[in-house]
Amino acid sequence: MNEPSPFDTTFDSPESDYLVKERRPSRFRPFLYVLLSLLVVLGCAYGVLCYVSSNAMAVENRIIWDGEIDSYRGVFDAYITEPYYRSKLSGQERALYDAYHYAYENGADQFEIRGRYSQEQIDKVLYYYKCDYPNVSVSTGETQLSDESDAGPLMLKLPMGIELPIVKFPMVPRTRIYISAVELDDTRRNADALQKAHKIIEDMPDDLTSEFERAKYIYDYLIRHVAYREGDGLDTDSTVATMYGALVENEANCDGFASAITLLYQMEGIECFKVFYTGADLGQQVGHAWNIAKIDGNYYHLDASYDAPLNQDLSLDADITLYNKFCITEEEAVRNEGTISPIIADIIPDCTSKALREKLYDVVIEEGNFDEVSALAADGMVEKLSDGEGYLTIKFDDSAQFKAFNDNFAGDGYGSQILELMDQDAVATLTNTYQDVFDTILLRYQED
């Protein structure tokens, strides 16, 4: 009898008869394949959603990839090449800053961004953005974090009516932010404001070649054409806190002036941004807003909203302008404002230069030449009269000397001394208008 092959699947055994059969496929195997395939699909979907959560932000119902946010160039980026405050932020804060920029320029009332941010960070980055760009007022409503207890997921709208929730994964924290409706209403007027700004720049004389001359022309335009109006940036019926109010409606509060200056200077290639101090008299947290600009190599403070009512209320002649808050130092800027918001106080540039004073005032009385004040004023007035101008502006470097001059001007005081030194044949009088906060005097000559 032949020996059974060890590879046979059946054979007889002398001790027991049994049969080894081939295994048949399990009836559950197809279901296992389907289950495994489903798990793979779900895993891929989970991975995609994790990737989206990690590499994109949701603006309303749209997915915007990080790369698109980083490279986004809005309308105002044609003039703002290096936003000052943005450069002072960390990487995560810059991501939030750029998200704000995209949302405001695209009219989005909410967005969701990767990362966990506190309300303090939200406010800080928002103020930095508002101070860099002219299209949003500093004093209007603040954005708020979402309340996770009543905020469902943002829905991504897909073709054919499909909606996909933007899921928040524990390992990828995200923050949803709501933007004030008042601010979005204001940004919709920006096109008209921008059109008017272009017209102002086009009308600028061609012979203004230096930064100072162009900056002064723009400043003069605003303080002569825009009326100062008090107003709340949260008032939905008012535009005084916006550059639209300043440029189109010709009336603005400090915020509107500051935004208009920011835009016009940036259009002329002059670095400019906003500063503010906190308080309850305007908006929610802003007490006053003005500007810092870099002119001819130095940073200066300037506040058109202060000089506008001063010059307009005094009913000055067309060729007379008093510059109490144009190209001033930080010490001068805070004399009647008190302080600068701690949110920005430590990062704004030093503003200590007095280099432009001689270009803004006819006579500058420095601390060491007060004994010559009458002679300097007389020589200055004679020169102005020869040019057909009957006024003289004087800036005192020392408040005590300014007070001494003003207190002793009438009668046989400095006014009479100046007229005697002028040696004019005509009988004339001098009148003085003074600004005691900024130690400036306007002398006007009039023949009797």
- Residue 305's pLDDT is 93
- Tell me the mean pLDDT in the region 119-127: 89
Residue 122 pLDDT > 70, yes or no? yes
Going by pLDDT thresholds of 50, 70 and 90, the confidence category of residue 42 is: low
- Residue 120's pLDDT is 87
Residue 49 pLDDT > 90, yes or no? no
Strands 251-252, 227-228: pairing is parallel
The pTM (predicted TM-score) of the whole model is 0.81
- Looking at 261-329, which runs of residues are DSSP E strands? 272-278, 286-295, 298-302, 326-328
pLDDT tens per residue, range 176-193? 788 877 777 777 788 899
End-to-end CA distance of the chain: 154
Whether residue 384 contacts residue 392, with contact meaning beta carbons closer than 8 Å, is answered with yes
- Residue 207's pLDDT is 94
Residue 340 pLDDT > 70, yes or no? yes
Distance CA 422, CA 381 (A): 8
Half-sphere exposure for 98 (CA within 13 Å, toward CB): 23
The angle subtended at Cα 188 by Cα 185 and Cα 193, nearest 5°, is 120
Residue 117 pLDDT > 70, yes or no? yes
- Tell me the mean pLDDT in the region 382-394: 89
The angle subtended at Cα 306 by Cα 302 and Cα 311, nearest 5°, is 110
Indicate the length of the chain as a whole number: 448
Whether residue 248 contacts residue 196, with contact meaning beta carbons closer than 8 Å, is answered with yes
* Residue found under tokens 């994109």: 56
Instruction: Give the pair of three-digit tokens for residue 110.
Output: 């909410």
pLDDT tens per residue, range 230-266? 876 555 567 898 999 999 999 999 999 999 999 999 9
Closest CA to 274 of 266, 144, 79, 282: 266
Instruction: Give the pair of three-digit tokens for residue 428.
Output: 């004339």
Distance CA 399, CA 417 (A): 21
Domains, the chain, with CATH or none: 29-133+144-178 (no CATH), 188-360 (3.10.620), 361-448 (3.30.1370)
Whether residue 307 contacts residue 324, with contact meaning beta carbons closer than 8 Å, is answered with yes
Rounded mean pLDDT of the chain?
Answer: 80
Q: Which amino acid is at 138?
A: V
pLDDT tens per residue, range 429-440? 777 777 677 888
Distance CA 27, CA 5 (A): 32
**Cβ atoms within 10 Å, residue 44:** 10
Q: What is the dihedral of CA 49, 54, 60, 62, to 10 degrees?
A: -60
- Residue 283's pLDDT is 44
Residue 446 pLDDT > 90, yes or no? no
Distance CA 251, CA 229 (A): 6
- Tell me the mean pLDDT in the region 136-148: 62
- Residue 429's pLDDT is 78
- Give whichever of 210-219, 325-334, 434-443 has the largest mean pLDDT: 210-219
Closest CA to 228 of 244, 246, 215, 216: 246
Q: DSSP class of residue 389?
A: -
pLDDT tens per residue, range 63-91? 665 567 778 888 899 998 789 999 999 88
